[in-house]
Amino acid sequence: MLLKKVADDVAKIDLFLSFTRCAQREGYVCPTIQEGSILKIEEGRHPLVESLLPYQSFIPNSLTLEENRRVAVITGPNMGGKSTFIRQTALIILLAQIGLFVPAKSAILPPFDRIFSRIGAHDDLYRGQSTFMVEMAETAQILHNLTPKSFVLLDEIGRGTGTYDGISIAWSVLEYLAKSPLAPRLLFATHYAELTDCMETMEGVFNLKVLVKETLQGIHFTYKMGEGASDKSYGIHVAKLAGLPHQVISRSQEILKNLEKQRSQKPLQKGLSSKDQIVIF
């Protein structure tokens, strides 16, 4: 028993020393935990992604959530940094609540009793569940277990099904959380531009977007978040970076023009999903 106690004490000392050295080496700060509705992270960073990059090359981002701005709808291109941004926010909250310093310039956080996340895409072969079924089951668990002190992260809800079904489900989930009397804090990353209209009909909702610089040579991902909604996804550009054949890229651009033309002629009604079929030819 004595030997086990000594081993436990040594393990705790090792743990605390590791945390201290990491905080000093990486420039972490002591967060302020206070009751209330304000969450303010200045120049927050993702601790794991940052450790894999060259020194001081990680692009930090700030976030403020408060009573009248508690739901952020985040749009922007793939590979732009949406998922990293919402993950780093959750990690900063988690580190703060277990008594550790956090990767940020400063952080003021309210206490949370639950952190929910629905991120990534995977199936469950053991239970015979498809990717979309897993996505919906995890979302249902979140919606059924909310509290007034919950922090929720949802990344690309509805992507596992058809476009109009996906938009309808994503819109409805966002609406449910935004209008919930429990008023949880929410980061909602999506590629559905239609959802950026939610701030017009739902209190407490605001838009954030990944900033992109367009040049003659192409686009440049800044990995910085800014106010407002993104009006482009740049998916074809990402496909080009991935090395898809030129014929595929050219055909994709042609189809995109046809889709955008049809969309401008029959815009999607706010809050509703269209029943019309997309015509690409």
Query: What confidence tens digit (pLDDT) does each residue in 86-133 have?
Result: 999 999 999 999 999 999 999 999 999 999 999 877 766 777 778 888
The domains located in the chain, with CATH, are 31-232 (3.40.50.300)
| Amino acid present at 137 | A
Confidence check: pLDDT of 80 > 60: yes
- C-alpha 223 chain-centroid distance: 13
pTM for this one?
A: 0.85
CB contact set of 222 (below 8 Å; sequence gap of 6+): 59, 210, 211, 212, 213
